[in-house]
Structure 1
Amino acid sequence: MEYLEFELPLKELQDQYNKACKLGEDNDVDVSETCQQIKDKLEAKRKEIYTHLTPWQRVQMSRHPNRPYTMDYINAICGDTFLELHGDRNFGDDKAMVGGLGKIGNQSYMFIGQQKGYNTKTRQYRNFGMASPEGYRKALRLMKMAEKFGVPIVTLIDTPGAYPGLEAEERGQGEAIARNIYEMAKVKVPIITMIIGEGASGGALGIGVGDRVFMLENTWYSVISPESCSSILWRSWEQKQIAADALKLTAKDMKKQKLIDKIIKEPVGGAHADRQKTFDTVSKTIAKTYEELKALSPKELINQRMDKFTEMGVYNE
């Protein structure tokens, strides 16, 4: 089990609990009362920490190395019914963007999302979840396929941003993201969007135009990361906590600003603390939301989706 800096008090109590229990076993001594006292302290401290997380701490939670990624959700929700589809039929197959057909119950869905790696090798293979233009074009191809066959779309967002490399810009990164936003607004099947980790910039918005947009409790959604914001304003990453507060990037902030539809509560300790419970909650949310959306005609879906996004923000004509 890995711990973040603000979780270290939990590690100390957990170590005390483990040592006390082992001491009792090794010496055949009844330490049940002591173990229970430590366990109670551990539970109280866990509730205290996770009930009062700062925006920066939630950003850290969204990046927790044990947190489930897109393929973890897909494999847990769909099991062996998932069929991954590859390539944009133009340039190549972007490993940072995954997608394919899968089932929840008897209903088929087109799942699309960014995938991060679990170690140094797979992080490089997945390009740290930063998609290139071919990734967004692959996503759009799969959306068009879903539309053709009347299959609802589920997008799972978890990216620090679109890949900013020179080769990505040469292949039309900005155009690819803009095209996805434009085309998603007109897709004739329901689109359900889940932010399961980091939701940064156009990299997230490139697959983020949904009829319903949900955020897990310990995720963030913003035009820029706290570190990048800090480096622009203060020429240093040291002010990232102040930037996180100012950006209003948490799920609670997004809901207050009416930029998302609902916050999905996570188990105490984060999505990784009880993966199965998180997977079940996400699966049920997808199925329930589709039941609400499937009654709408394509025209109603498109009109509601476009109204939803055009009403966001404040502007003068």
Structure 2
Amino acid sequence: MDKRLQRLRAADRVSAPMVIQALLPTMTVQTGDRVLGRDAALTAGFGRTVTGQQLAVLGVDRGVDIQSRREKNGGALTVPGYRTALRVIKHAAKFGWPVVSLINMPGADASPESERHGQSQAIADMIAAMGQLTVPNLVVFLGEGHSGGALAFANANRIIMLDDALFNVASPEAVTAILHGQQTVSDAIDLLPMTADALQARGLVDQIIAHDQADLITVINQTIERQLAPLQSLTATELIAQRERKFRQFLDSWPVN
């Protein structure tokens, strides 16, 4: 396995639950979509930071050992996960609370069961709702975030990535498979703009955080509050327009061959 992927998928990698615990000392957790149940990979709810900022948070986590990774489906969210997240952001919009997403996931669950329960519709609903949020939203890529499963959380005013994180339409392994093995996994990572540096150069990523800092969780949480601050004064119309402009500019930067 590529050394970059080994580091991203290591058991001691900083996780969404770790960041949320430090960000929100007290939190009201929301579990389940009230139809199919809960998704163990999702940590979602509301709380107040030590500085007094009320937030809604959505964290997707792979797990740290065999048992937890099995329980969390390796971070591949199922329909209940997306529907629970959607319920949380609707509450956030109602009460005027910014939404923070923390992502480390391979993508959405692609099992026949998820497809039967409307996985593609659940993802589409989440992407649309994030885009039309009338409150600020921000996403932090702590590790990997691939496919529409991750994009559902990334339709955001601010995108932050750890310097070794990845965000792409497909995982490196999937890209290699699509190219019928013509590229190695390492080459696939460099072939497309999925690294933090490449995405920042195209204007999609707003800030990069070094992953090897001793006080990484503190830095992440300080960055979240700092990036949210200027968004608080924007109107709902301005927030929606800013998200659309970000992704349109990214598409415009794509070379046409």
Give yes or no for TM over 0.5.
yes
How far apart, CA to CA, are the structure 2 residues paired with 1:294 and 1:149?
14
Q: Which residue of 2 aligns with 1:69?
A: 15
Give the aligned residue type for 1:303. Answer: A
Matching residue within 124, 138, 153 for 2:70: 124
Larger radius of gyration: 1
Q: Which residue of 1 aligns with 2:199?
A: 254
Mapping of residues 44-193 of structure 1, within 5 Å: 56-79=2-25, 81-104=26-49, 105-193=51-139
Residue by residue, what CA displacement relative to the aligned partner does 1:176-206 show, whole Å, maximum 9, x if unpaired?
A: 1111111111111110111111111111111
Q: Which residue of 2 aligns with 1:195?
A: 141
- Displacement of 1:235 in angstroms is 4.8
Name structure 2 gaps, 5 residues minimum. Answer: none
Give the aligned residue type for 2:209. Answer: I
How far apart, CA to CA, are the structure 2 residues paired with 1:164 and 1:197?
20
How far apart, CA to CA, are the structure 2 residues paired with 1:101 and 1:122?
23
Name structure 1 gaps, 5 residues minimum. Answer: 6-55, 269-273
Residue by residue, what CA displacement relative to the aligned partner does 1:96-147 show, whole Å, maximum 9, x if unpaired?
A: 2220112222111101021221211111111111101121111111000011
Give the aligned residue type for 2:243. Answer: R
Structure that is richer in helix per residue: 1
Q: Which residue of 2 aligns with 1:305?
A: 243
**Cα RMSD (Å):** 1.9
**Partners of 1:84 and 1:100 within 8 A in 2:** yes
How far apart, CA to CA, are the structure 1 residues paired with 2:227 and 2:189?
30
**Partners of 1:58 and 1:220 within 8 A in 2:** no
**Partners of 2:165 and 2:195 within 8 A in 1:** yes
Mapping of residues 207-222 of structure 1, within 5 Å: 207-222=153-168
Give the aligned residue type for 2:40. Answer: K
SS at match of 2:67: helix
SS at match of 1:207: helix
How far apart, CA to CA, are the structure 1 residues paired with 2:81 and 2:145?
16
- Displacement of 1:83 in angstroms is 2.0
How far apart, CA to CA, are the structure 1 residues paired with 2:238 and 2:173?
40
How far apart, CA to CA, are the structure 2 residues paired with 1:194 and 1:106?
20
Matching residue within 218, 224, 227 for 2:173: 227
Q: Which residue of 2 aligns with 1:265?
A: 210
Mapping of residues 257-296 of structure 1, within 5 Å: 257-267=202-212, 274=214, 277-296=215-234
Give the aligned residue type for 2:229. Answer: E
How far apart, CA to CA, are the structure 2 residues paired with 1:235 and 1:262?
33
- Displacement of 1:234 in angstroms is 2.6
- Displacement of 1:258 in angstroms is 1.5
How far apart, CA to CA, are the structure 2 residues paired with 1:311 and 1:133?
31
How far apart, CA to CA, are the structure 2 residues paired with 1:186 and 1:243?
33
- Displacement of 1:261 in angstroms is 1.3
How far apart, CA to CA, are the structure 2 residues paired with 1:202 and 1:133?
13
Task: Give the structure-1-normalised TM-score.
Answer: 0.75
Give the aligned residue type for 2:189. Answer: A
Q: Which residue of 2 aligns with 1:271?
A: none
Identity of aligned residues (%): 34
How far apart, CA to CA, are the structure 2 residues paired with 1:185 and 1:231?
31
Number of residue pairs matched by the alignment = 253
How far apart, CA to CA, are the structure 1 residues paired with 2:211 and 2:66?
27
